[in-house]
């Protein structure tokens, strides 16, 4: 069953898939967390020319068990990640290297177009964005993985 969150993003894309099985994105967070996150992704998507965007396999919600298994497998993931709170997304953009996507998002943020963006990470194969809480206006947590 597919359920759209926004025009181009499905609820199922944000499910946690780990040793504890497929755990759906928590229903109680959809309105306050996933909807604003996906709305921000839509703004990014439109700015990048409506290119196809895909959430990576572990790029949405992550349960404690999934984070533990990723750590055990040697992945460099944060144990207190925003993914556990359902506030983060790792994604790829068709036909655009992550470094280009990252640069465009940074420009948008600096132009005040992504007011909810609290964290921006650049990895070899994808870009991370999150809408973490309690971020001073204009402040952005940034890192490269
Ligand atoms: Zn991430």
Tens digit of each residue's pLDDT (9 = 90 or more) over 44-80: 999 999 999 999 999 999 999 999 999 999 988 887 8
Q: Taking ligand 1, which is a single-atom ion, which protein residues have CB atoms under 5 Å away?
A: 88, 90, 128
CATH classification of the domain holding 69 = 3.30.1380.10
Rounded to two decimals, what is the model's pTM? 0.94
Residue 114 structural domain:
4-144
CA distance 136 to 116: 11
Q: Look at the chain and report how many structural domains it folds into.
A: 1
Distance (angstroms) between ligand 1 centre and the Cα of 129 equals 7
* Mean of pLDDT over the chain: 94
Work out the widest C-alpha separation in the chain, in whole angstroms. 41
CA distance 128 to 87: 11
Tens digit of each residue's pLDDT (9 = 90 or more) over 30-47: 999 999 999 999 999 999
Distance (angstroms) between ligand 1 centre and the Cα of 60 equals 8
């Amino acid at each position: 069953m597919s359920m759209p969150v926004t025009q181009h993003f499905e609820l199922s894309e944000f499910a946690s898939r780990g040793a504890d099985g497929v755990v759906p994105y928590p229903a109680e967070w959809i309105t306050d967390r996933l909807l604003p996150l996906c709305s921000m992704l839509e703004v990014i998507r439109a700015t990048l020319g409506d290119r196809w965007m895909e959430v990576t396999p572990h790029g949405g919600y992550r349960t404690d068990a999934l984070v533990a298994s990723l750590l055990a497998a040697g992945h460099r993931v944060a144990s207190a990640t925003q993914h556990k709170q359902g506030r983060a997304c790792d994604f790829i953009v068709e036909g655009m290297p992550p470094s280009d996507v990252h640069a465009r998002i940074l420009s948008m943020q600096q132009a005040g177009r992504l007011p909810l963006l609290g964290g921006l990470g650049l990895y070899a194969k994808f870009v991370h964005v999150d809408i973490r809480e309690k971020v001073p206006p204009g402040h952005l947590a940034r890192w490269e993985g």
